[in-house]
Structure 1
Amino acid sequence: MTVHQSDELEAILRALPPDIVQRVRALEGLDGLLEIVMDLGRLPEARFAGREEILSQREVFAEDIAYVISHIGQFGGDNRAGIERTLHRISALRNRAGKVVGLTLRVGRAVYGTMEIIRDVVEAGRSILLLGRPGVGKTTLLREVARVLADEMGKRVVIVDTSNEIAGDGDIPHPGIGRARRMQVAAPSLQHAVMIEAVENHMPEVVVIDEIGTEQEAAAARTIAERGVQLIATAHGNTLENLMLNPTLSDLVGGIQTVTLSDEEARRRGTQKSVLERKAPPTFQVLVEIQAYQRVAIYHDVAQTVDAVLLGIAVAPELRERGVDGEVAVSAQAPSRAASEAVERRSTPRLPAGNGADMRETVKVYPFGLSWNRVEEAARGLGLPVAIVREPDDADVVITLKNYYRRKTPRLRNAESAGIPIYIARSNSST
């Protein structure tokens, strides 16, 4: 794996005040420099993975910030700027009057070879969604994927580069994207329109997008995927379950809706009448969770995985880790049920497998129009672990009488729309 950084690091150093530059050059391990932070009235600092270094014993003045701004490009609507033909990103902190009072100068590097860990997935031609926390390397991986698809596989690749992070600042793209073409976006709010424009005007085989974050962008991504174009994108979130619980972005994995089953179907499935189901085919067929710089978890079939999570079935993704020797080790990650249970419990509370009542999960019940004491008495008589809650939002199930249910009071309507099962009691008694 090769890292090209020397000339570009000089470019960001030239944008710093002279006394700060001298201190930066004296630091050890500049290859690992992540960012430089300059806030008005505070000491400037350099940040590395695992450590921070103070760059001066004097506070940052307004003149220092003005010096940096004069040596970089213009800030866009997202308060980000760059240095032409480099991958560096400079982000601004502004006061209430709009004046820049702080800068984060993030060092950008083109790293070749990072996509080898998922090369087979990319070459399969399916749409891929990359997830991961900030700073874990999503954009670096995305850039390398675009280069490999364009240069090594000969595909027509168009990058929708909203913040100029993938292909750098300026009109000439950074060589790190290879032969891929780059479309710049005038304002972040227009990203969804440029995504559609890329498909309609430039006949791409692959569209690459960084940071899908709004409902409009999610809808545009679905439109692109439905036109048969391979889509490679990143989105906000750490895990698949995070995405499923995000009402704005859940459509990327098919969306989730509450479905009311018939009595016969509910008996056949062994579930309650209100269940959560996937609404549509996922926009992305494959999801990659970037857990660390050289470690990823891959869900090869997003549709099947989402369905399994909604049914409460433990899911184990494929875990890949690249060692220092370049070899990729493949294993199965231990399944985690915590998040999937949170999704499931909104519609179908389940009892863990077991023979005794002690193995059962406590069900939170909200009685509406019923005596709480009667409900608790009935639960004790049946040996059921039940906890009474005061609000329907906190409940696993709601119990009410038929006349209240027919009136559809606001609390019952809200509970039903949230997918909380509602049971009708025959009378306000414990028998």
Structure 2
Amino acid sequence: MEVKQDKAYQQAAGCLPPLRAAQLAALEGQEEVEELRFRAGRPPAVKTARGERELELAVVTAQELREILSRAARYSVHSYTESLKNGFVTLTGGHRLGVCGTAAEENGKVVGIRGLSSVNLRIARQAWGVDAVIAPWVGEGEPQSMLLLSPPGFGKTTLLREWVRAVSDKGHTVAVADERGEVAALADGVPQFAIGRCTDVLENCSKKRAALMLLKTMSPALLAFDEITAPEDVEAVSLCAHCGTAVLATAHAAGTDDLRRRPLYRSLLELGVFRRAVVIGRRDGKREYRMERLEERTCSS
């Protein structure tokens, strides 16, 4: 029986060596695969919403890992030095190749990864099916600030992208500070994902710098940030608050209680920008979404 080919899966697998790509092209259930993992000395593994499993294929070699990275970087790894300092390369289509191995440090900062031990190919997809779920929360009036929460790998970026599209297609101007190039996945200036008809994107720029530029030049009603992970990101949200611009942002947390326990996010909540959060969870291998309110409890240090 012919295997159904999934466009996003095939595009992401384009960075794999030809033999490995051909092997994985025969995999059934491609549309459910969220990540392809390659670890030196182990067979490749696939990760879906139900968990991770190894495939009955030849083990991955160190040479294969080097080739995957070279192909992902279009045989110009040095061009991705800044990205690799953060442990990943963003591919065409918004897919991301995360790398592990021996970190090279200078002055206490990671300057690269050598001696690769594993890579993780995360597949980016449009998620049309969440429209009906988020419609009541997006609402019909002016955009409202919202936090999107989940542990890593639960689909925060995907949900942010769909939220941006929903707001934008209602005629509200939206700006996206797409620091890693994964939300819109611009190619020659054209988004490879549907992000709405009134959306402007600034890629490969820190969130704080992007906020300064977008607020001055694009006058957004909503400014979206993917992954608040540093004090400078909180400062970016603060800039929006001072300008009266609504903020859509993602953060790593299992829920609002978990969020409040983390010092960085306590400082974020103290800005008073967010009153609600959408939490992404999983049950029986499927994602579920719930709204939690933030203003009912004050955060303290």
TM-score, normalised to structure 2, is: 0.81
| Deviation of 1:137 (Å) | 1.5
Which of 265, 289, 294 aligns to 1:296? It is 289
Q: State the distance in 1 between where 2:292 and 2:117 align.
A: 43
Q: State the distance in 1 between where 2:72 and 2:145 align.
A: 35
Matches within 5 A, 1:90-129: 90-97=97-104, 98-99=113-114, 100-123=116-139, 124=141, 125-129=143-147
Q: State the distance in 2 between where 1:122 and 1:132 align.
A: 19
Residue of structure 1 in register with 2:71 after alignment: 71
Residue of structure 2 in register with 1:88 after alignment: 95
Q: Does residue 181 of the first structure (1) align with residue 200 of the second (2)?
A: yes
| Deviation of 1:229 (Å) | 0.9
Matches within 5 A, 1:10-409: 10-50=10-50, 51-57=52-58, 59-73=59-73, 75=80, 76=83, 77-84=85-92, 86-97=93-104, 98-99=113-114, 100-123=116-139, 124=141, 125-150=143-168, 152-168=169-185, 170-172=187-189, 173-179=191-197, 180-186=199-205, 190-254=206-270, 282-292=272-282, 294-300=287-293, 302-303=294-295, 305-307=296-298
Q: Check 1:17–1:185 CA distance in 2 against 1; reply closer, same or farther (3 A cut).
A: closer
Q: State the distance in 2 between where 1:8 and 1:290 align.
A: 22
Query: Which secondary structure does the structure 1 equivalent of 2:226 belong to?
Result: strand
Q: State the distance in 2 between where 1:215 and 1:13 align.
A: 35
- Please tell me whether Structure 1 or Structure 2 has the larger radius of gyration of its CA atoms: 1
Q: State the distance in 2 between where 1:6 and 1:176 align.
A: 18
Q: State the distance in 1 between where 2:212 and 2:91 align.
A: 28
Q: Check 1:289–1:106 CA distance in 2 against 1; reply closer, same or farther (3 A cut).
A: same
Conserved? CA contact 2:234–2:267, under 8 Å: yes
Q: State the distance in 2 between where 1:185 and 1:16 align.
A: 24
4+ residue segments displaced more than 6 Å: none
Conserved? CA contact 1:83–1:169, under 8 Å: no
Q: Check 1:284–1:65 CA distance in 2 against 1; reply closer, same or farther (3 A cut).
A: same
Conserved? CA contact 2:207–2:225, under 8 Å: no
Q: State the distance in 2 between where 1:105 and 1:203 align.
A: 35
Q: State the distance in 2 between where 1:156 and 1:131 align.
A: 23
Q: Check 1:169–1:175 CA distance in 2 against 1; reply closer, same or farther (3 A cut).
A: closer
Unmatched tracts of structure 1, length 5 or more: 255-280, 311-342, 344-417, 419-431
Q: State the distance in 1 between where 2:213 and 2:56 align.
A: 45
Query: Which secondary structure does the structure 2 equivalent of 1:135 belong to?
Result: coil
Conserved? CA contact 2:211–2:239, under 8 Å: no
Query: Which secondary structure does the structure 2 equivalent of 1:287 belong to?
Result: strand
Aligned pairs, number: 272
| Deviation of 1:294 (Å) | 4.3
Q: Check 1:55–1:45 CA distance in 2 against 1; reply closer, same or farther (3 A cut).
A: farther
Conserved? CA contact 2:175–2:222, under 8 Å: yes
- Equivalent residue letter for 2:281: Q
Query: Which secondary structure does the structure 1 equivalent of 2:253 belong to?
Result: coil
Conserved? CA contact 1:83–1:170, under 8 Å: no
Q: State the distance in 2 between where 1:228 and 1:56 align.
A: 54
Q: State the distance in 1 between where 2:212 and 2:34 align.
A: 34
Q: State the distance in 2 between where 1:90 and 1:83 align.
A: 7
Query: Which secondary structure does the structure 1 equivalent of 2:100 belong to?
Result: strand
Q: Check 1:46–1:245 CA distance in 2 against 1; reply closer, same or farther (3 A cut).
A: closer
Query: Which secondary structure does the structure 2 equivalent of 1:176 belong to?
Result: coil
Q: Check 1:27–1:113 CA distance in 2 against 1; reply closer, same or farther (3 A cut).
A: closer
Conserved? CA contact 1:206–1:229, under 8 Å: yes
Q: Check 1:306–1:11 CA distance in 2 against 1; reply closer, same or farther (3 A cut).
A: same
| Deviation of 1:171 (Å) | 4.7
- Show CA shifts across 1:218-245 (max 9, x none): 1321220231111111112112122222
Which of structures 1 and 2 has the larger relative contact order (alpha carbons within 8 angstroms, sep 6+)? 2
Q: Check 1:286–1:177 CA distance in 2 against 1; reply closer, same or farther (3 A cut).
A: same
Conserved? CA contact 1:128–1:288, under 8 Å: yes
| Deviation of 1:30 (Å) | 1.3
TM-score, normalised to structure 1, is: 0.58
- Show CA shifts across 1:96-121 (max 9, x none): 44313321011111111314212222
| Deviation of 1:282 (Å) | 1.5
Q: Check 1:176–1:214 CA distance in 2 against 1; reply closer, same or farther (3 A cut).
A: same
Conserved? CA contact 1:46–1:55, under 8 Å: no
Q: Check 1:129–1:191 CA distance in 2 against 1; reply closer, same or farther (3 A cut).
A: same
